[in-house]
Chain A
Amino acid sequence: MALSDPTTLDSYIDAVAAALGLPIDPAWKPAVRANLEVSLELGRLVDEFPLPDETEPASVFSA
């Protein structure tokens, strides 16, 4: 089941909130869900863009 399903997404929000110790009032959840839907939609654009395995992230650590 995809995260785009509202029930699934609500369950995901509850699980991550518990894992991170974030208090989420039920009244806030529709707005949190709406924001997360936007982030996941934009994240999908990033996800589906193929990059070579060797691609380095923008920031490169130097010792």
Chain B
Amino acid sequence: MSTDWMTAAETAAAVANRTTTALAATEAALARIAKADATLNAFTDVVAERARARAREIDAAIARGESVGPLVGVPFAVKNLFDVAGLATRAGSKINRDRSPAADDAPLIKRLEAAGAVLIGALNMGEYAYDFTGENIHDGPSRNPHDPTRMTGGSSGGSGAAVAGGEVPLALGSDTNGSIRVPSSLCGIFGLKPTYGRLPRTGSFPFVASFDHLGPLARSAADLALAYDAMQGPDDGDAACTTRAPEPVSGLLAQGIDGLRIAKAGGYFEANVFPEAQEAVGRVVKALGVTRSVELPEAARARAAAYVISTTEGASLHLDRLRRQPNDFDPAVRDRLLAGAMVPAPLVDRAQKFRRWYRARVLEVFEQVDVIIAPATPCVAPKLGQVTFTLDGVELPVRANVGIHTQPISFIGLPVVAVPIPLAPMPIGVQIIAAPWREDIALRVAAALERAGVARAPRPKDF
């Protein structure tokens, strides 16, 4: 049977009940990549022999009657800032290609494989994750499966393209200021940015330690939940990783939205949006019966503080590379990082103090509501290479403005599911935001929207 366009859960069920095999699912994924990636440019590395060997082990275990995990036989891929044993962790850069190959897989890869999944390869991304476009000067841009002349969004652009284009049903990305939610929105798929500290970042190349999150992208809310459940748990390698016990969510998705207090984000989140973002939020609000609006106080300042912390922590991370190899960076990234090195330190300290203030105010809002609905991006995918867009007669830079609605949320580490609204011809995402550690609530709402037919990952006509 064909596993093309199957979700992860459907693929795992087919492998577990022996309708297909892990090897067949793996070969099908490799064939899809061979066909589609000439256009999508999602993959930078395909680990075909490793994947086949792993799939054969799984099939042998099934033949022996051994119990298998909830992601058995599911092909997946990871943004190339994850350590994959034997590969240099390039993080979208040229410079990192000189690093020694990783000795081991990142813990999240190990946890997905322990649940039965099969790693297929590593994915294109914006250089050092300082990107909202999915473009990459060294590897070429990842391309949007719904229109290859358009951006995937970044920085997890390859993750967005690989899942939306049907190459794999599941990918991992990272989200510092929006890098899971932006490509999810522009490519029309589901993405989960968990609570800051929920999933360990060990074995991944960092960007902004204060804000870095890892998480899954998929074509259904249930798949996000399956992957999230498989990846939870403490890890000593990440100082920010929680010691809270795992809180599985997969069994909760059928609960629906009964009893949840849901509001739309007003003010800042209603400004600077194109009609398509208004339409998408409107559909979600209508489907959920939302009648109230809440304001996240000082959201514009939160975005500003996130920007300041990001550019300075990024500069600090790369300071020595900026000294030694400035010509090996993407010039646009280099110039942002050089500028980040020059931001006066008191502004960074004040940004971190403001962050605590803002967190307290937003948690007060969450005493009144359980869920906040907001746009994921102000617009559908811009054209590749597009530098500006015009909104309300004002010309604005694309790169700086695609993340304006995601940054005030990740700034304080709130869990978010980006759900795809299948507008034609281009989809766009909406953020389902919950209080810290309430991924279950955000995923319940996402699943309810999916059941209602409001949220759906549309299949691109050419893939």
Contact = CB atoms under 8 A, between A and B. Distances in A.
Interface in A10-53: 12-13, 16-17, 20-25, 28, 31-33, 35-36, 38-40, 42-43, 45-47, 49, 51
A15 to B, nearest CB: 9
Contacts of B308: 39, 42-43, 46
Contacts of B451: none
B326 A51 contact: no
A54 B436 CA distance: 25
Interface size bucket, B side? 35 or more
B300 A28 contact: no
Interface string B112-132: 000000000000000000000
Nearest to B400: A38
B356 A28 contact: no
Interface string B420-445: 00000000000000000000000000
Nearest to A27: B331
Interface stretch (B58-66, B97-105, B335-343): B335-343
8 contacts: A22-B322, A42-B307, A43-B351, A47-B347, A55-B353, A56-B353, A57-B355, A58-B356
Nearest to A35: B339
Nearest to A3: B344
Q: Is the interface of B mostly helix, strand, loop or mixed?
A: helix
A31 B30 CA distance: 42
A58 B349 CA distance: 9
A26 to B, nearest CB: 13
Interface string B265-300: 000000000000000000000000000000000101
A57 B352 contact: yes
A30 B146 CA distance: 36
A49 B298 CA distance: 10
A51 B357 contact: yes
Contact of A24 (B300, B338, B347): B338
Nearest to A42: B304
Interface in B315-356: 319, 322-323, 326, 331-332, 334-336, 338-344, 346-347, 349-356
Given A23-B323, A23-B326, A58-B359, A39 B339 contact: yes
A47 B311 CA distance: 16
B343 A57 contact: no
B65 to A, nearest CB: 48
A23 B326 CA distance: 8
Contact of B353 (A35, A36, A57): A57
Contacts of A45: 300-301, 304-305
B96 interface: no
B319 A58 contact: no
A55 B350 CA distance: 9
Contacts of B335: 28, 31-32, 35
A34 to B, nearest CB: 8
B334 A46 contact: no
A36 B343 contact: yes
Given A21-B323, A32-B339, A59 B352 contact: yes
B210 interface: yes
A35 B347 contact: no
Contacts of B400: 38
A16 B350 contact: no
Contact of B336 (A20, A35, A42, A43): A35
Q: Which of A13, A16, A43 has the most CB of B within 10 A?
A: A43
Contacts of A16: 341-342
3 pairs of A and B residues whose beta carbons are closest in the complex: A35-B339, A57-B352, A42-B304
Contacts of A58: 210, 352-353, 355-356, 359
A31 to B, nearest CB: 4
A46 B339 contact: no
B301 A22 contact: no
